[in-house]
Structure 1
């Protein structure tokens, strides 16, 4: 429920992004080092207005990595409260293509679980770690751009 008043109506604006947690048979996951800020993240980006969510995942992964994927299932929903971005992360399987750089990536790599934890900020690592779990229900998490907010004790 909105906390708006008649004098100041609330008009929240959110951006929706999609990312692929692409997992190989050996358990390694696909990641990129972003060209704009040098951080390691799952491949993904803003969903275009006219495309389906699954088409957006396939497009973003291919554009940033050269890897073609099949989209399996939603593994998490992540909201950045400081930027108003809602990210939908999908577990994917590689189907073809080969690793290549793009204008958005300076490195493309298949990382182990430990490398994900070592190289990525918490808010990006958790997206891949959640996708590696064999849970049917997607995780729903909130963060401020740097750290998770209200993390359950069992994590």
Structure 2
């Protein structure tokens, strides 16, 4: 289902749903971050999605990462909470979603990279490589927040 992201856009449609969601900054032992190129908007993003009934926010991030990338993860921390009411997703079915999103930090524990019906490309990137990738502002903010919290990387 295609979507259009609006962030602090005065022409954005008004939200008609509020959805709790989780995303994950998955960092491997080499300091690379896991990203997926989404099928619904064509840009790079963190794995994540809406929380299902009966699961915790951490379980949501673990499930979504596995479903979208083929990588199993363990949650190790929190990057931040993201609740900007000016950031909405408009779907072609008429839903205009405002998310209450918690971004968690995770490390890979197994699996192998694979795409899904939500991702047509999945890859590991160094923090420096992320800067040139096309992505929505809210995902870039999560990555910038993660990098700011971890301090400078010396390689």
TM-score over 0.5 for the pair: yes
Unaligned stretches of 5+ in structure 1?
1-11, 136-155
- What's the RMSD between the two structures over aligned residues? 1.6
1:91 to 105, 114, 120: 105
Shift of 1:95: 0.2
Q: How far does the alpha carbon of each residue in 1:89-110 deviate from its partner, in whole angstroms, 9 at most, with x for none? A: 0000000000001000000011
Q: Which has the higher contact order (CA 8 A, sep 6+)?
A: 2
Residues 67-82 of structure 1 correspond to what in structure 2 (within 5 A)?
67-82=71-86
Q: Which residue of 1 aligns with 2:29?
A: 25
Q: How far does the alpha carbon of each residue in 1:15-45 deviate from its partner, in whole angstroms, 9 at most, with x for none? A: 1110110001111100000011101000000
Unaligned stretches of 5+ in structure 2?
1-15, 89-97, 151-155
Other structure's SS at 1:63 match: helix
Aligned-partner Cα distance in 2 for 1:130–1:59:
23
Matched, 1:125 2:140: yes
Shift of 1:127: 0.8
Q: Is the 8 A contact 2:71 2:112 kept in 1?
A: yes
TM-score scaled by length of structure 1: 0.74
Largest Rg, 1 or 2: 1
Q: Which residue of 2 aligns with 1:61?
A: 65
2:18 to 14, 21, 31: 14
Q: Which residue of 2 aligns with 1:145?
A: none
Aligned-partner Cα distance in 1 for 2:32–2:54:
32
Q: Is the 8 A contact 1:29 1:128 kept in 2?
A: no
